């Protein structure tokens, strides 16, 4: 971890339109200002997957205004924890960073019913990450 009192987490997937958006939204929602959250994609889509937006709305989190962002080397360099979700070799590696690779089904092309279990698994993993970071989740 950095010397900063606030840990920084970067979520990376290919399109930054599904998994990484859900993970960033859950961490922001549950971690509040006690954690810095970023998300990006190695080949970002034009928009966030509408089924992902709807699935997150069902749990009270609105990500309709989010837009996919391109992965920048600076984002990796300024993060304490980098969580990849299928970005493969596109994610730059820097020593001193903690890397986690979350194997999750890709919600691309899926309907809301198929996105829900992915969403729920991401929330479970985010709660585990918060516990590892010693951050009590918001109610």
Spot the catalytic one: 12, 13, 25, 82: 13
The reply to whether 23 belongs to the active site is no
The residue with tokens 């997150």 is: 56
Tokens representing 70? 């391109």
* Residue 13 annotated to the active site: yes
6 classed as catalytic = no
Q: What is the CA radius of gyration of the chain?
A: 14
Q: Which of 87, 104, 129, 130 is catalytic?
A: 87
Start-to-end C-alpha separation, the chain:
25
In the set 23, 75, 91, 118, the catalytic residue is 91
Beta bridge partners of 82: 10, 99
CB 40 within 8 A of CB 19: no
The catalytic residues are: 13, 87, 91
């Amino acid at each position: 971890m950095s010397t900063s009192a606030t840990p920084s987490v970067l979520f990376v997937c290919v399109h930054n339109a599904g998994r990484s958006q859900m993970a960033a939204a859950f961490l922001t929602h549950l971690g509040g200002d006690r954690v810095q959250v970023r998300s990006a994609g190695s080949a970002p889509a034009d928009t966030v997957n509408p089924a992902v937006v709807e699935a997150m709305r069902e749990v009270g989190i609105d990500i309709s205004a989010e837009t996919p962002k391109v992965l920048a080397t600076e984002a990796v360099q300024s993060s304490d924890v980098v969580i990849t979700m299928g970005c493969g070799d596109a994610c730059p590696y820097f020593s001193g960073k903690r890397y986690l690779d979350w194997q999750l089904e890709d919600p691309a092309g899926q309907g809301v019913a198929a996105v829900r279990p992915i969403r729920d698994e991401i929330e479970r993993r985010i709660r585990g990450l918060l516990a590892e970071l010693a951050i009590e989740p918001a109610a």
